[in-house]
Amino acid sequence: MRVIIALVLALTGWSAPALAATGDGSPSDANISFVGRWNKTNAAAYIPYWAGAYLRTGFTGKTVKLKQRNTIDLWASIDGKAFTAFKGAGTINLTPVALAAGNHTLIVSYRQVAGSYTGDAVFQGLTLDAGATTFKAPARPRLVEFIGDSITAGTTSSQLAVTDYAFKAGEQLGYDHTQIAIGGMCLSETTDGCWAHETRYWMSSGGQAGTDPWDFSRYTADGVVINLGTNDKSHGVSGADFQAEYITFLTKIRAKFPNTKIFALRTFIGRYAAETQAAVQARNAAGDPNVFYVDTTGWLPADGLSDSVHPNDKGHQAIADRLAPVISSRL
């Protein structure tokens, strides 16, 4: 029967459409996991949005290279080791020193394209050794989404999103994680134009690449961690308005993620602490017991800031060490 079918297909000139092979390292390779908000419209080039999005896979062989379009800064971790910085265009060799033959794991996180940074974060595939393939990296049991501003994007830390408390807490827990954060963001819309999660959280790119809505069926977060309010204060948002908007924001997130545990952090320098806690209490009183206020008082060491607001590497690590067990205890 197989011979007859093959003969008929050959005589009629029909052939199956070309599909990416699992294991070939192309963007549509099913062995590569894309965590966060990615634009997959172009099957040959996937684009990450927001901070801390990353790809994760396993591969065989001794080397792995990244196919890029134009210049970009990125960080890569192989076999769970520390993230190494790379910069370039075209083919970027992530293994300048060849690895031992065998199975390896890879995580790649691009620098977020935002503000004055205009790098080209476009994943066009992996190049492996002859005969090598990708394979699915071990599954992670949970996914946590972190919502915030420049602090949650890792501004002023040594490797930005990768050395941020959110990325670090997710890695410590062995969970997938994504940072929905851009520097300067507020919770509330303001008359002087602060970019606000009130409207932009619901967009694929936060408005940086159009206003297309994010498809929330793409992933379901087991936990959502919110760290907002630092910039609202600077833009003159009143306590009453901030509290009302926080309640609305929590309510709308609950509608998207009915069973998710939501953690509302006290901002690390204490802005709107009472209003944040009151917003959580309002949601609890409305019948939602899975929203939690997290008091971060004392989490930052005395030398944990790089300026008056942003944590340095030591500060981010201290926050991650305190936050990770809070998340795991609820999940």
Model confidence at 5: pLDDT above 50: no
What pLDDT score does 208 carry?
87
Determine the pLDDT at residue 22.
Answer: 84
Nearest alpha carbon to residue 309 among 116, 193, 154: 154
**pLDDT of 204-227, one tens digit each?**
999 988 899 999 999 999 999 999
Over residues 80-101, mean pLDDT: 97
Q: Considering the domain 33-135 in this protein, what is its CATH number? A: 2.60.120.260
Same CATH fold, 143-330 and 33-135? Answer: no
- Give the CA distances from residue 135 to residues 61, 92, 304, in Å, rounded to whole numbers and listed in that order: 12, 20, 39
Give the start-to-end residue ranges of the domains of the chain: 33-135, 143-330
Q: At what angle do helices 239-256 and 273-285 cross, to 10 degrees?
A: 40
Q: Which fold has domain 143-330?
A: Rossmann fold (3.40.50)
- Whether residue 8 is predicted with pLDDT greater than 60 in this model: the reply is no
In whole angstroms, give the CA distance from residue 75 to residue 323.
24
Give the pTM.
0.92
Neighbours of 33 (CB within 10 A): 15
